[in-house]
Structure 1
Amino acid sequence: MLPVARKILAELDGIGALFDAPLTGRIRVGVPDDFDDGVLEQVLANFAHRYPDVNVEATSGCTSRFERSIQKNSLDIAVCSGIGADGEQTFSPEPTVWAAQEQFRFDFSSEQVPIAVLDRPCWWRDLPIKALNDAGLGYRVVFKSASFPSMRAAIRSGLAVGVLPLHCVEDNMRVLSVKQGFPELPAAVRSLIISEEAPADLTSAMAQAIRRAIGN
């Protein structure tokens, strides 16, 4: 047998040995809409492939609502984003950056920076405004949306500057830094929160799938 094939079989055997019996039931998972599409696809596809008898119900959106959903027992497990996010398990911090369309040019000495922000109660909305206010820099909000992908589209179009997690910066965007006059930003932290009422075997399996996809 080829070495690569042996390695794949060994990994599959290890995954299968995690549980004595096949997993069944239902798991409800909340994922941030700032997740890269590839990460979300990997989480859901890999989990469905490994645990075909488990029904997955996924909700993508603003993570500020997920904690309440966990408390109300309408979600079993969720990934929350934030600075210093509190959760049962925390992932490695990820840089947050000022992002703009590749050809975007701006001069703080003569202009107010046009920014795109999220129109919802979350730290992604507050972060750019607080950073610019603390630095005493002028800005004007030219785009607001409750949708993270829509905000990213506004940045991609060249309409505005915005704050993104580093992994969301696209090929036609560039990162703006202190060299261009933009203030430094704190790293973002993602954490898992898990309902005490949820089946432990299912949440453990989903947590592992999420960690594999994120690379933590």
Structure 2
Amino acid sequence: MVVWERAQPPTRPTPTPLSREGIVRAAIALADADGLDAVSLRKVAAALDAGPMRLYGYLATKAELLDLMVDEVYGEMIAPPRPPAGNWRDALRDTASRVREAALRHEWFADLLGGRPRLGPHALEHTEMLLAALRADPGFGDIDTVMSAVRTANAYVFGALRSEVTERRAERATGLDERQWQQANGPYLVRVLATGRYPVLSEFVHDGTNLAPGVAFADGLDQVLDGIAVRLAR
């Protein structure tokens, strides 16, 4: 039986009462502070001042714990509710914005995006809301067209967020933000570009616009949505 359908043990009057919700909150706090490597049943139990074996009454494996953590974050995306999206582009933009906000609050969440569909109640509700918004738009003739658009948008969003989170982690690991990193590596890059072997890259370095992360994310998403719109118009 999957964890979503498995009942919790009855509450016991112990010095440290447990619940599945409390276990998940403790695990998220550990992951927010130190990443997914800091999450184990033993460490979560220690954070709750409980014996590790007690946790097995609420979940069977670390994989189940990660599923519960991910679903808790999906719950953050659907509450508080926002005004309904006006059209399919608005719906995909709003969803992408929610996912990005969640990933920047919980960087570990970006590591768990993608793969097999998430089947927790919050994840299912999140998916249903998005699919329903696109399915109601007359531009989408059938459910396969809806799913194709969602997969395409998700592929961009998940990849862009992993890149953004990786950059944030690099800043913390090196102590250098993006501008400081550029200054430290600038002299080397100037020498390399001066060889003339990389003319287009040189044009980008000298003349390209360095967009802020949020702006770059929105710009890339708009390019993806433009491509979906062209396909729908065929």
Higher helix share: 2
Give the number of the structure with larger relative contact order, counting CA–CA contacts within 8 Å between residues 6 or more apart: 1
Higher strand share: 1
TM-score when scaled to structure 1?
0.26
TM-score when scaled to structure 2?
0.25
Q: Which has more radius of gyration?
A: 2
